[in-house]
Chain A
Amino acid sequence: MTLPTGTAASLDDQPADDRILRQGLRNIGDMIRLEPKPFAVGAVGAMANTAMTLFLSFVVGWVVSSIAVPAYESGEVVLGTVMIGVAALLGTSIIRFSTMCARRIGAGVMMFGVQAHWRRQITRRYLALPVSWHQKHPTGTLLSNANADVEAATRPLAPLPFAVGTLFMVVIAMGAFFWIDWAIALVALGMFPTLFALNALFATKMAPRAKRAQELRAEVSAVGHESFDGALVVKAMGREAAETERFSATAEELRDAMIGVGRLRAAFEPAISGLPEIGVLVALLVGLARFEAGAIDLGQLVTVSFMFSVLAFPVRAIGWVLGDLPGSVVGRRRVDHVLSATGDMTYGQAELPETTAPARLEFDAVAYAYPDGKEALHEVTFTVEAGTTVALVGATGSGKSTLAHLAARLIDPTRGTVTLDGSDLRDLTHASLARTTALVQQIPFVFDDTVRANLALDRPGLTDDRLWDALVAAGAEKFTAALEQGLDTEVGERGTTLSGGQRQRLTLARALAGRPRLLILDDATSAVDPKVESQILTGLKDSADVASVLVVAYRRATIALADEVVFLEDGRITARGPHQELLKTHQPYADLVTAYERAEAEREFEGEFDDPEFNDPDFKDEETAA
């Protein structure tokens, strides 16, 4: 659409590393403020958990030095000591288990809470932003804003409490190392920062590759979707092989990107898991020397080597958070793009009187320009007098739908005013406007709900009787009655269980059910058979609740029902008046609406010369021969 691809690209641009870190941390800060309690639970849980893991090292060291060594030396087991060891293990495990639950559940509750919060906000914006904003953004983008982008923005939250716990643990562990022995602490001082750096390097190198793979995954999906959506055209033109090549090309790009991810992982993973193990061996060597020197005892030696192996894993959590930061920054920016979008359609305070009398619609010097600046309507002035029907006629692309959307206030004019019974549409409350007008669009939209819910839309006073009346008027009662569960039938997502014509009649019935005072039909019967259409239109005309009608139409039967015709050419009204009069006075109009008749007349005229006597080649040949 009009969304320039440049904007999308600049959103994706990889900003400098320090900016990512700053923005990523600010994003995390914002999210902590949204869900402080679960974060606190998770972080405290994680700290307690890692503290317990440290404590476990001491338990193991104590088990070796106070149970195993005496047993080895004396050949006897002191049951009491063993029981203390068992109790210590049991206690540690219980605390480790419960703090692990606190950490994981806290992180989850926090992340899902933030996700739900943003999703609610984003969808509120979708409902508040004007239709013109929607038209500027592809459906797929808006869907992924509410789904994938929110997930990306919150992804660092899952390992966040763990990472906080790890930072805490590293500090405590360093303290413990120094308390045990300075030489061993030096080994730790060498190993942990290296491990930390390796993890950070891995995470930051991986982030852009993972992002690229993710983008390519979206591209593979987009090509797949598009190709399958156009399956009929692909098959009808025998382009399956070419489409397969097109799909394969992106699939192979994805493959190569994933292999790139794999190479990086292959290079870092073994190093990250191997380094702590080398660290343990070095610690054993150094420990042995210190043991010789009498600086530490056997239990402390075991404790230290154990600590090296159990502490290596949590360091990864910091890497996970760092790795998720770039993606979260991009996700957050896209979320903010929606949340900060302006130009809401605001509604006024005025209410039109509650009446069933038809309304009067007036366009006064209305102009409308698309967001890209192209003016689609210029100086449009006309009136739909109360109780009359005005047909809007014009060639494909002349601005009829735009005009219908203005009348229903899906969009606002760039200049000029649209008024209903003298009130500017922009001054009316949304409820009053929705009560008064009803728009039936060219492409029908139905909700994933029952037929009844689709017709009534929870509007008050819409009894089943009234719904059936509307269905009759829209020519939809027969197929609705034939549905297995009648009004209670679920129509499926976008009404997939119905045909195009049925969906169109259902949306027409939805409009009629509300007994609008102004009905706007935007070529709303195009998917309906001519025969059915004429039944519907006659029904409308004979209806007891007369409404003012603005109807976009091609068919002459539709036009014939109108009291007045407004003829649009290139966004300008070039003629207005009763159909018969325009036929005589405005040639472009006559050309458009009498096209079929003229075609037939021409054929009949030509047909006279089609007489075999004139055309028979043999006849002519004889003539020339003679």
Chain B
Amino acid sequence: MSAQDDTTQTQPGPWQTVKRGLRLSPELRRGLGFTIFLAAVTSIGRLVVPVGAQQVLDKGLLGEGGPDIGYVVLVAALGVAALLVTTGTNYLMNRRLFVVSEHALASLRRRTFRHIHDLSMLHQQSERRGALTARVTTDIDQVSTFLQQGGMVLVTAAAQIVVATVVMAVYSWQLAIAVWIVFIPVTWLIKWLQGHLAAAYTDVRKSVSKMLSAVAESVVGAGTVRAYGVGARTSERLDASIDEHRRDQTRAISRSAFSFGAGELVYLGVNVVVVVLGAFLVAGGSMTVGELTAFLFLVILFTQPVVIGTETLNEAQNAVSGWRRVLDIVDTEPDVADPVDGVALPEGPLGVRFEGVRFAYPGGEEVLHGIDVEIRAHSKVAVVGETGSGKTTFAKLLTRLMDPTSGKVRIGGTPLAEVTFASLRGRVTMVPQEGFLFNGTLAHNVRFAKPDLTDAEIYVAFAELGLDDWLETLPAGLETELGESGANLSVGERQLVSLVRAYVADPDLLVLDEATSAVDPATELRLSSALDAVTRGRTTVIIAHRLSTAETSDEVLVFDAGNLVQQGPHAELAAEAGSVYAGLHGSWREQTRSN
């Protein structure tokens, strides 16, 4: 483990990554030996033609006593038989490779996906979502492509070089050594070219993502571009990014052509050696004509892997770094983990207690400075404060989407960190401000937390919250398609749906984080009184920027710059002249009832 820790600091070598990857996906190791055996047998098949040609020439045509037709037919028959066998092993190897690697990678995908959901990065750093999606998609795709194409090519290419060398050495050890003397320096050249090629492809990847984000702007920001008449400006930026991408692509392809050229160079060098040295060896009687001919064929076995391997190595580098990124994510310990021997929450309504709770985002300043508060079971509590005062952080700590940096949160008397997720998520539900909706029907979204709800039950839920009128305005009712992220609904309507979704989950502690901020006042009030009726007897914590909610709650918590500065019933707090709450409330009154 410690070696692994050391290497994550620097860049771990490709082998270490592959070893780590194999450790994590034991399915890949199973039968690996057999697959390699099949690959070895398959590459022996490539020797049939050179050896066959040598035998036909030496023993069949130029043999003592003139051409021996019977022998040639025998060689040809044996050759065909060998080819049929190796074609069979080739088939088996390919099949095994796909079946094994796809099964292993599907389970790696699944595990990584789940693990990412367990990490709180997702909602803490929303800008990283795209990158995290890449972990379970393109990164693993790259590994898959590599294992099935590149990886196999590398294995068979290596095997091909080995068997070709063995046969060459049998025919003429001098010539075999000479071939390797030419071959080795060229591999250095290839490695060098390889680096340049990889750099060019890195540029291509950068410019493609730049281009895509420029295209995304012209799509997502179409309204803004139109309203400000900045089409020409946007167009220029797009053209620039498209041209840059094209330039980078062209440069990469030119470099790859040169890398391919290295293959030609190997071929030329080895061929020249074989012809010149071979001529002398044949003249000296230490080599036959057939053997020299076989060499000329074997040279191709040497060159092909080099040509194909150049591109494969590039792919391999990408695949290995993709693999490494996946492994790094899987190795990240979830900061908010499901406790091992967790307990279930006690039955009945839940109270909450914060004891000296502090919170700072990783690497950031502290945003909550020691909060001590008790929220009684059955009560309705409003949390108010200006933007950035720590309200949302408070809600996330309350629902254990994050853990405090220090201090403790207790729920129903039990420390929150000791409650199993199964129990916690079933009893405590939060409705965030941007209640994400999934692509699908309205009913599908409401059923998110409770898949077995009937349509009738969903109707009842809407009616209980006084939203049945709204539901009736929808042409397809519960079957209305909401579109990508609920785009077919207005922002306010989306909030209504996510509220119903939380309501049907039937939690004992409901936390609303500005969950109705985009709903019109009349609807909001109707909703809030309906909610009061149906949540009576449960604990409700409402983070609100409209103070109408505070006015109707049992208690108000006022946050200011990360501190809890006031706590008590609305009327009491509003009466404290000069207090934060009095200020907020005054401004709210001014806004809602001027004139």
Q: Cβ of A263 and Cβ of B144 under 8 Å apart? A: no
Q: Cβ of B52 and Cβ of A284 under 8 Å apart? A: yes
Please report which residues of chain B, range 82-102, place their CB below 8 angstroms from some CB of chain A when the two chains form the complex. 83-84, 86-88, 90-95, 97-99, 102
- Which residues of the partner chain A approach B265 to less than 8 Å between Cβ atoms? 93, 97
CA distance A492 to B227 in the complex (A): 22
Q: Cβ of A302 and Cβ of B221 under 8 Å apart? A: no
Q: Cβ of A68 and Cβ of B61 under 8 Å apart? A: no
Q: Cβ of A116 and Cβ of B245 under 8 Å apart? A: yes
CA distance A120 to B240 in the complex (A): 10
The 7 closest A-B pairs by CB, nearest first: A238-B425, A262-B98, A434-B229, A108-B253, A266-B94, A557-B591, A270-B90
Known contacts A71-B279, A232-B436: does B272 contact A89 (CB below 8 Å)?
A: yes
Contact string against A for B residues 36-72, beta-carbon threshold 8 Å, 1 for contact and 0 otherwise: 0000001001101100110011001110000101001
Interface centre among B227, B271, B484, by most A CB within 10 Å? B227
Q: Cβ of B399 and Cβ of A285 under 8 Å apart? A: no
Q: Cβ of B233 and Cβ of A458 under 8 Å apart? A: yes
Q: Is A481 an interface residue (CB 8 A)?
A: no
Contact string against A for B residues 249-272, beta-carbon threshold 8 Å, 1 for contact and 0 otherwise: 110011011101100110110011
Chain B contact residues, majority secondary structure: helix
- Which residues of the partner chain A approach B84 to less than 8 Å between Cβ atoms? 274
Known contacts A270-B94, A445-B224, A555-B592: does B110 contact A226 (CB below 8 Å)?
A: no
Chain A contact residues, majority secondary structure: helix
CA distance A263 to B95 in the complex (A): 6
- Which residues of the partner chain A approach B206 to less than 8 Å between Cβ atoms? none
- Which residues of the partner chain B approach A175 to less than 8 Å between Cβ atoms? none
Q: Nearest chain-A residue to B434 (Cβ)? A: A232
- Besides A266-B98, A271-B87, A345-B226, 8 other CB < 8 A contacts? A116-B242, A131-B223, A146-B215, A244-B110, A270-B88, A441-B227, A447-B217, A531-B584
Contact string against B for A residues 310-331, beta-carbon threshold 8 Å, 1 for contact and 0 otherwise: 1000000000000000000000
CA distance A101 to B265 in the complex (A): 13
Q: Cβ of A258 and Cβ of B98 under 8 Å apart? A: yes
- Which residues of the partner chain B approach A339 to less than 8 Å between Cβ atoms? none
- Which residues of the partner chain A approach B498 to less than 8 Å between Cβ atoms? 233
Give which listed residue, A124, A236, A459, contacts B401 with CB less than 8 A.
A236
Known contacts A139-B216, A262-B95: does B67 contact A238 (CB below 8 Å)?
A: no
Q: Is A600 an interface residue (CB 8 A)?
A: yes
Known contacts A255-B106, A433-B229, A529-B386: does B288 contact A72 (CB below 8 Å)?
A: yes
Q: Cβ of B591 and Cβ of A530 under 8 Å apart? A: yes
- Which residues of the partner chain A approach B587 to less than 8 Å between Cβ atoms? 530-531, 534
Q: Is B202 an interface residue (CB 8 A)?
A: no
Q: Cβ of B520 and Cβ of A396 under 8 Å apart? A: yes
Q: Cβ of B72 and Cβ of A285 under 8 Å apart? A: yes
Q: Cβ of B123 and Cβ of A138 under 8 Å apart? A: no
Interface centre among A123, A252, A501, by most B CB within 10 Å? A123
Known contacts A244-B113, A252-B106: does B261 contact A97 (CB below 8 Å)?
A: yes
- Which residues of the partner chain B approach A93 to less than 8 Å between Cβ atoms? 264-265, 267-268, 271
- Which residues of the partner chain B approach A105 to less than 8 Å between Cβ atoms? 250, 253-254, 257
Q: Is A9 an interface residue (CB 8 A)?
A: no
Give which listed residue, A217, A288, A526, A554, contacts B521 with CB less than 8 A.
A554
Known contacts A100-B260, A580-B595: does B545 contact A530 (CB below 8 Å)?
A: yes
- Which residues of the partner chain B approach A494 to less than 8 Å between Cβ atoms? 220
Q: Cβ of A284 and Cβ of B76 under 8 Å apart? A: yes
Q: Is A295 an interface residue (CB 8 A)?
A: no
CA distance A281 to B46 in the complex (A): 13
Q: Cβ of B217 and Cβ of A438 under 8 Å apart? A: no
A261 CB → nearest B CB, Å = 7
Q: Is A248 an interface residue (CB 8 A)?
A: yes
How many inter-chain residue pairs (CB < 8 Å) link A and B? 485
Q: Cβ of A100 and Cβ of B136 under 8 Å apart? A: no
CA distance A617 to B95 in the complex (A): 80
CA distance A65 to B551 in the complex (A): 104
Q: Which range holds the interface residue count of chain A?
A: 35 or more
Known contacts A237-B449, A597-B593: does B231 contact A127 (CB below 8 Å)?
A: yes
Q: Cβ of A431 and Cβ of B492 under 8 Å apart? A: no
CA distance A309 to B53 in the complex (A): 12
B345 CB → nearest A CB, Å = 13
Contact string against B for A residues 535-578, beta-carbon threshold 8 Å, 1 for contact and 0 otherwise: 00000000000000000001111101000000000000000000
B466 CB → nearest A CB, Å = 13
Q: Is A112 an interface residue (CB 8 A)?
A: yes
Give which listed residue, B42, B215, B300, B525, contacts A599 with CB less than 8 A.
B525
Q: Nearest chain-B residue to A146 (Cβ)? A: B215
Known contacts A89-B275, A127-B234, A374-B475: does B106 contact A116 (CB below 8 Å)?
A: no
Give which listed residue, A143, A263, A267, A269, contacts B219 with CB less than 8 A.
A143
Q: Cβ of A237 and Cβ of B67 under 8 Å apart? A: no
CA distance A331 to B110 in the complex (A): 30
Q: Is B421 an interface residue (CB 8 A)?
A: yes
CA distance A229 to B132 in the complex (A): 10
- Which residues of the partner chain B approach A196 to less than 8 Å between Cβ atoms? none
Please report which residues of chain A, range 271-317, place their CB below 8 angstroms from some CB of chain B when the two chains form the complex. 271, 273-274, 277-278, 280-282, 284-285, 288-289, 291-292, 298, 301-302, 305-306, 309-310
Q: Cβ of A309 and Cβ of B227 under 8 Å apart? A: no
A567 CB → nearest B CB, Å = 12
Contact string against A for B residues 107-118, beta-carbon threshold 8 Å, 1 for contact and 0 otherwise: 001100110111
- Which residues of the partner chain B approach A531 to less than 8 Å between Cβ atoms? 386, 583-584, 587
B130 CB → nearest A CB, Å = 8
Q: Is B320 an interface residue (CB 8 A)?
A: no
Known contacts A127-B234, A430-B229: does B76 contact A285 (CB below 8 Å)?
A: yes
- Which residues of the partner chain A approach B73 to less than 8 Å between Cβ atoms? 285
- Give the number of chain B interface residues (Cβ < 8 Å): 185
Q: Is B488 an interface residue (CB 8 A)?
A: yes
B83 CB → nearest A CB, Å = 5
Q: Cβ of A596 and Cβ of B593 under 8 Å apart? A: yes
CA distance A490 to B484 in the complex (A): 29
Q: Is A69 an interface residue (CB 8 A)?
A: yes
Q: Cβ of B293 and Cβ of A68 under 8 Å apart? A: yes
CA distance A248 to B107 in the complex (A): 8
- Which residues of the partner chain A approach B436 to less than 8 Å between Cβ atoms? 229-230, 232-233
Q: Cβ of A596 and Cβ of B520 under 8 Å apart? A: no
Q: Is A464 an interface residue (CB 8 A)?
A: no
Q: Cβ of A431 and Cβ of B590 under 8 Å apart? A: no
Q: Is A113 an interface residue (CB 8 A)?
A: yes
A597 CB → nearest B CB, Å = 5
B592 CB → nearest A CB, Å = 5
Q: Cβ of B49 and Cβ of A262 under 8 Å apart? A: no
- Which residues of the partner chain B approach A75 to less than 8 Å between Cβ atoms? 283-285
Q: Is B103 an interface residue (CB 8 A)?
A: yes
Q: Cβ of A309 and Cβ of B297 under 8 Å apart? A: yes
- Which residues of the partner chain B approach A369 to less than 8 Å between Cβ atoms? none
Q: Cβ of A269 and Cβ of B94 under 8 Å apart? A: yes
Contact string against A for B residues 499-537, beta-carbon threshold 8 Å, 1 for contact and 0 otherwise: 001100100000000000111111111000100000000
Identify which of A14-22, A25-33, A417-425, A587-595 touches chain B: A587-595
B145 CB → nearest A CB, Å = 10
- Which residues of the partner chain B approach A410 to less than 8 Å between Cβ atoms? 223, 226-227
Q: Is B483 an interface residue (CB 8 A)?
A: yes
CA distance A120 to B214 in the complex (A): 12
Known contacts A127-B234, A235-B117: does B45 contact A277 (CB below 8 Å)?
A: yes
Q: Is B328 an interface residue (CB 8 A)?
A: no
Known contacts A231-B122, A458-B233: does B219 contact A277 (CB below 8 Å)?
A: no
